[in-house]
Structure 1
Amino acid sequence: MPEVILLEDEPVLRQELGEFLEELGYAPLCVSSLQEFDLGFDPGRHHLAVIDIGLPDGCGLDLIQRLRQDGQRVGIVVFSARQTSPDRIMGLGMGADHYLGKGCDLDELAATLAALVRRLGLQQRPPEQPAADWMLEVGPRRLHIPGAPSMPLSQQDLTVLRCLMDQAGENVSRRQIIEALGADYLEYDQRRLDTQMRRLRRRVEAESGQTLPVKTLRNSGYCFYQPARVQA
């Protein structure tokens, strides 16, 4: 999972972007100032950076210039409210790979990062799992994780995983999952589903050290990409 360092001083936007990057499968480190960036940036881990320009303790352009002068090959995307043509030219001239305005669709940010991942050769195969399948026990509400202890589930987590694991390897739409939860698709706040999936991923990783093999299909749904069994 590529690690991204995100430098954004506005708290609400920083949280929104961090959650968005998580949904895309990245591992974001979110910082709010140049000082925090310098403390958190690890060239061995952070091969992608999303950087704001106007910051409380300086200018993001100076940071980009310094990174390039130090020979850092990190892929840099400027994400700024300053988006005139001279701003963009200056940012690219300082060493940014791409320059996006904050008014852009987040799907454009996703596509830009994906292009950087390909260009920099950062593609990663899903982590290898042990030979045994992932198994979901419906009655006891337990998830059996290969090579790790089983994990109890809430009814909601069970319902979501059953939708995905019953159709392992296939794309499962948000509508299918929401209707399985007994909710009205048109009235349901889909951010609730995103939050539930993030929490489930974190819990599986915290309890087993393994990555839940579910990929997010942007604006579409999810896919459980490992072999799986469901036992009633």
Structure 2
Amino acid sequence: MYKLILLEDENVLRQELAEFLGDLGYEVDAVATLAEFRQLYSASSHQMAVLDLTLPDGDGMNLIRELRQLGHRIGIVVLTARGGTPDKIAGLDEGADYYLAKTADLDELAATLAALKRRLALPEANGCWILEVGRRRLLPPGLSAIPLSRQDVTVLHTLMAAQGETVTRQHIVQALGEDFLHYDQRRLDTQIRRLRRKAEETLGIPLPVNTSRNVGYSFFAEALIRV
């Protein structure tokens, strides 16, 4: 799981962004001020940052300049209301990798972060993942097994059977034996977060599951299912 630090001073937006990024599979530390960022930020653990610029205790441009002058290689995405061309040029010149206006769609933010991961060459989980249905466990390539619940097995079986393709929320919910029209969508999000946490906490690697916001999920690594 990739660790990301989010700097946004608007409380509601910060909570919404943190939840959205968590659903995408990032481990998110969310802060509201430059002072909180400097206190929490760790060069050894935070791989990416999403930064607002207009903050109660200063200008985020100064923070970007500071990070780059200190030699930090963290990937930086600016997400700000200051969307004019001069501001964008200044942000990129200071060292931001990408610069988005707050009018950007959340899916654009997700795509930008995915592109940044590729640009930074952050490690992905490679090799074949094996789902053993009867033994209720997931075998990552070359690593120990991850124990699963029955619901975990059902969700992973549904995703891995469609390897690389996005499986809709409705299809997953129906595989769980639930009525989609009366199903609380938050239960599925919690299920996916729990699976991601199991992989991270058990083995320290990300689960190869992508989120297509409001659509569904996909298992993007090579997969094999054993009944």
TM-score (norm 2): 0.77
Q: Which segments of 5 or more consecutive residues in structure 2 lack a partner in the other structure?
A: none
Q: Which residue is 2:195 aligned to?
A: 200
Whichever residue aligns with residue 8 of structure 1, its letter is E
Whichever residue aligns with residue 221 of structure 1, its letter is Y
RMSD between aligned residues: 3.2
Q: Secondary structure at the match of 1:202?
A: helix
Show the 5 A alignment for 1:19-98.
Answer: 19-98=19-98
Q: Which segments of 5 or more consecutive residues in structure 1 lack a partner in the other structure?
A: none
Residues 205 and 137 from structure 1, CA distance in 2 versus in 1: closer, same or farther, beyond 3 angstroms?
farther
Residues 195 and 10 from structure 1, CA distance in 2 versus in 1: closer, same or farther, beyond 3 angstroms?
farther
Percent identity between the two aligned chains:
46
1:151 aligns with 2:150: no
* Contact 1:162-1:230 at 8 Å conserved across structures: no
Deviations 1:81-135 (A, max 9, x none): 2323443344334332322122211121122223333333x24230668xx9441
Q: Which residue is 2:123 aligned to?
A: 124
Measure the CA separation in 2 of the matches of 1:2 and 1:144: 20
Greater C-alpha radius of gyration: 1
Q: Secondary structure at the match of 1:171?
A: coil
Q: Which residue is 2:218 aligned to?
A: 222
Measure the CA separation in 2 of the matches of 1:211 and 1:117: 15
Where relative contact order (Cα < 8 A, 6+ residues apart) is larger, the structure is: 2
Measure the CA separation in 2 of the matches of 1:96 and 1:3: 18
| Residue 63 of structure 1, CA deviation | 0.9
Q: Secondary structure at the match of 2:133?
A: strand
| Residue 197 of structure 1, CA deviation | 0.4
* Contact 1:163-1:172 at 8 Å conserved across structures: no
* Contact 1:23-1:194 at 8 Å conserved across structures: yes
> How many residue pairs are counted as aligned between the two chains?
222
| Residue 168 of structure 1, CA deviation | 6.5
| Residue 195 of structure 1, CA deviation | 2.5
Q: Which residue is 1:136 aligned to?
A: 133
